[in-house]
Structure 1
Amino acid sequence: MNGRILALVLVCLWGLVSAAQAAPLTVAVKASPPFSYQQGDRWDGISVELWEKVAEKADYEYRLRPYGSVSEMLDAVEQGQADVAIGAISVTADRERRLDFTQPMFRAGLGIATRNEASGWVTTLRNLFSWKFVSAVLALVLVLLLVGLLIWLLERRKNPEQFGGSASQGIGSGFWWSAVTMTTVGYGDKAPVSTGGRVLGLVWMFVSIITISGFTAAIASSVTLNELQSRINGAADLPRVKVAAVEGTSGANWLAGQGTTFVPYPNNQQALRAVVIGEVDALVSDAPVMRYMLRERGTTNALVLPALVREESYAFAMANGSALRESLDQAMLEILPTQEWRTVLNRYLGAEE
């Protein structure tokens, strides 16, 4: 009797083990083109194609389960709700403490996306003829007109040859005198002869030196500042501009570690759009993802800087101590060095790879 019970228990255990082995893997995935994205009901991308090849070699059945963010995928794997996470998952020290990772499937890293501002006279003229510049010119014209009015009131009786005529003619002559005096041109065609007029002229000469110097400096400073703010050359420029990052990503963590404040966005699509429309000045995120998105959109007024902020490796994530790691690594080591796989990369990345 005991032998029969033991045999029955062994059969049940064998059945449970077989069922567990036959159960399909749950693979977490998130839209991060060109690594993973949906086309209709099908998932495609670099990570998805690699996973399909790996699963075929390792003889794994699986089902894809989409998630909204990388952090949600990694939490699901850590908590046992998913067996593997694929996509644009960079390997960081914090993530390595929480999870296991396969062999690196791709090497790139964090980049900076910014607007591709025009340079030269186009940018200079655009910055010059801003509303601030126009308002400053209007204010200066009003001051010139006020001084012209004062000199006309003081000179119209004692100096009618130069400041006489109708009110409009006299004020126009005064305006002309105040302008040429301020700019130190001093044609000499009009000059005050009354005591009040000469006192006003003397005061206006000194005031003009200060006014024109300050006005010139303000214009030069404004143009230079606008030019500097429109050009971001690397990570050193990020603290002085408005930066975006996607919440819970390695880009956001890197910025926080650098002490750089940033505007959080839920995904790369919204963050990159904010860069394109000028809502923010830069986005720190996965460089290949941003380059792919800009290329697919045909965006010409934004670019990803060639220098990486930080180099990173991308891999599949599993729970710590997962039995899947060795079989996945073996399959990846067979696939990644092949010309067939390089062809897949070129298809998605072209000259960027």
Structure 2
Amino acid sequence: MAFPRVLLVLLLYFSFSLNLPAQETLRVGVSHAPPYCMSDDGQQWSGMALRLWRQVAEETTTPYELVPVAHQDSLLDRLERGELDVVLLASMSPDKEARVDFLQAFHHTSLGVALPKTNSLWETIRGLFTLQFLYIVLGLSALLFIVGVIVYFLERNSNDDQFGGERSTWQGIGSGFWWAGVTMTTIGYGDKAPRSLPGRAVAMLWMLVALAVTSSLTAAVITAAQSPRFGQFPEALEAKQTGVVAESPADHYLRAAGQSPRTFDTPRKGLQALQHKELDAFVADLTTLRYLVDESRGLSANVEATDSEPEAYAFAVREGSQLREPLEQAVIRITLTRMWREIKNTYDATRNNPHDSRRQ
């Protein structure tokens, strides 16, 4: 009777072994690419991809060692040659998929544009002279005019000293317009107020509506006053001195658009050149730009998102590797959790968005 039990145990063992090949230590390739993979002077690695990998390795009980690689572009080459078993950061593309096997993507991003910091007061003033702000003023004026007309016709006979009397129709409407404006802004001078029951009913309704209008107006004015300085991408860069990381997606994208950007070894060096006014703009991975600007005290820039050159980042293994199935199952399980969304948000957050949280 003991023999079938032993056989069952062996079958279960070999079944597990087929899912995750037995290997003493996986060689995991990493390269410095904030905020996905980052190393300090003490060779301690951190970042979005590292946090995900450590959870995957723990869930699958996979022993591993990190193998630092100087240039990110050489990670897939070393993976193909068998020098690495897993690569923690690879941008997915059909060409690369023909060389290696990608796991489930753990992060999606696109290109971003970093622009020099400017005087915020001047930017606000300039934003007030835009079509968007003009539309806001015209729309609000129309609403105040309608309310003013209603109040005038309700009050002109019972409230001569404030809305009717010897005033002409337009003067009376002007009084109603003024009352609607000071009521909406909660200034409430008290120089005019409805006295009739219908007038007071409209006044009460308008005060409630004005609360919502004021909240929406505040957000709309801020948006209009702080409208982005950047135009259509990438056409707006044609007359600008633009920087990119050499051989990066941004580099390929701009050159395909007929531009000749200045190249840098790392995004940090490009942002430093922008800081020193050697560049008019620097284009790179949006998440990387936001992270570097947010976390580096010596760097300041306005980072604007584009919808160009979307990218997906994932782990990669050798083509046909038996590691793919068990690792991908773990990646899918983890990236669907709320905990992973919170982790990812800490790296996507930026000081450019006041609602974003600081990174841990």
- Report the TM-score when normalising by structure 2: 0.58
> Quick check: 1:111–1:310 contact (8 Å CA) kept in 2?
no
CA, structure 1 residues 23+300, in 2 after alignment: closer, same or farther (shift >3 Å)?
closer
User: Is contact 1:70-1:248 (8 Å) kept?
Assistant: no
**1:5-29 Cα distance to aligned partner (Å, 9 max, x none):** xxxxxxxxx9xx99x8233111111
Match of 2:11 in 1: none
Counterpart among 60, 80, 83 of residue 82 in structure 2: 80
Q: Does 1:309 align with 2:308?
A: yes
Return closer, same or farther for 1:279/1:63 CA change in 2, 3 Å cut-off: same
Question: Quick one: structure 1 residues 35 and 352, their matched pair in 2 at CA, closer, same or farther if it must change by over 3 Å?
Answer: farther
CA drift of 1:314 comes to: 1.1
Deviations 1:189-248 (A, max 9, x none): xxxxxxxxxxxxxxxxxxxxxxxxxxxxxxxxxxxxxxxxx9533322122212211122
- What does the per-residue CA deviation read over 1:135-169, in whole Å, with 9 as the maximum and x for residues that have no partner? xxxxxxxxxxxxxxxxxxxxxxxxxxxxxxxxxxx
Instruction: Return the offset for 1:310.
Output: 2.2
Map of 1:295 onto structure 2? 294
Displacement, 1:258?
Answer: 2.1
User: Counterpart of 1:113?
Assistant: 114
Q: Who is 2:101 aligned against?
A: 100
| Counterpart AA for 2:291 | Y
SS for the counterpart of 1:305 is strand
For the 8 Å contact 2:293–2:300, the answer to whether it is kept is no
2:261 aligns with 262
Match for residue 45 of structure 1 among 44, 47, 56: 47
Whether contact under 8 Å (1:77, 1:84) holds in the other structure is yes
The within-5 A match list for 1:273-288 is 273-288=272-287
CA distance in 1, matches of 2:121, 2:88: 45
Task: Give the match for residue 33 of structure 2.
Answer: 32
Query: Is 1:60 matched with 2:62?
Result: yes
Contact 1:117/1:231 (<8 A) preserved: no
Within 5 Å, give how 1:1-353 maps onto structure 2: 21-39=22-40, 40-87=42-89, 89-118=90-119, 231-233=229-231, 234-298=233-297, 301-350=300-349
Measured at CA, do residues 28 and 314 of structure 1 come closer, stay the same or move farther in structure 2, by a change above 3 Å? Answer: same
Partner SS for 2:310: strand
* SS of the residue 1:68 aligns to: coil
SS of the residue 1:33 aligns to:
coil
- Distance in 2 of aligned mates of 1:321 and 1:258: 36
Aligned Cα RMSD in Å? Answer: 2.9
Moved more, 325-334 or 65-74: 65-74
- Structure showing greater radius of gyration is 1
Secondary structure at the aligned position of 2:329 is classed as helix
- CA drift at 1:70: 1.7
Alignment gaps of 5+ in structure 2: 1-13, 126-227, 350-354
Deviations 1:235-281 (A, max 9, x none): 22122212211122222222232222111111111111112211122
Deviation at 1:300, TM superposition (A): 6.9
SS at match of 1:244: strand
Q: Which amino acid aligns with 2:32?
A: A
Describe the superposition over 1:88-129 as per-residue Cα deviations: whole angstroms up to 9, x where unpaired.
x321233223222110101112211121333776999xxxxx
What SS does the corresponding residue of 2:272 show, helix, strand or coil? helix
Cα offset, 1:325, TM superposition: 1.4
Change over 3 Å in CA distance of 1:300–1:252 after alignment to 2: closer
Alpha-carbon spacing, 1:123–1:330, altered in 2? closer, same or farther (3 Å): closer
Rounded Cα–Cα distance in structure 1 between residues aligned with 2:79 and 2:91 = 15
CA deviation vs aligned residue, 1:24-70 (integer Å, no higher than 9, x gap): 11111111222111243321111001001111222211111111222
* Alpha-carbon offset, residue 289 of structure 1: 0.8
**Aligned partners of 1:122 and 1:253: how far apart in 2?**
32
CA separation of 1:282/1:344 partners in 2, compared to 1, >3 Å: closer, same or farther? same
Identify unmatched segments of 5+ residues in structure 1.
1-13, 125-229
- What is the CA–CA distance in structure 2 between the aligned matches of 1:326 and 1:352, rounded to whole Å? 35
State the alpha-carbon separation in 2 of the partners of residues 63 and 300 from structure 1: 33
What is the number of equivalent residue pairs in this alignment? 231
- 1:22 counterpart SS class: coil
Contact 1:92-1:250 within 8 A present in 2 as well: no
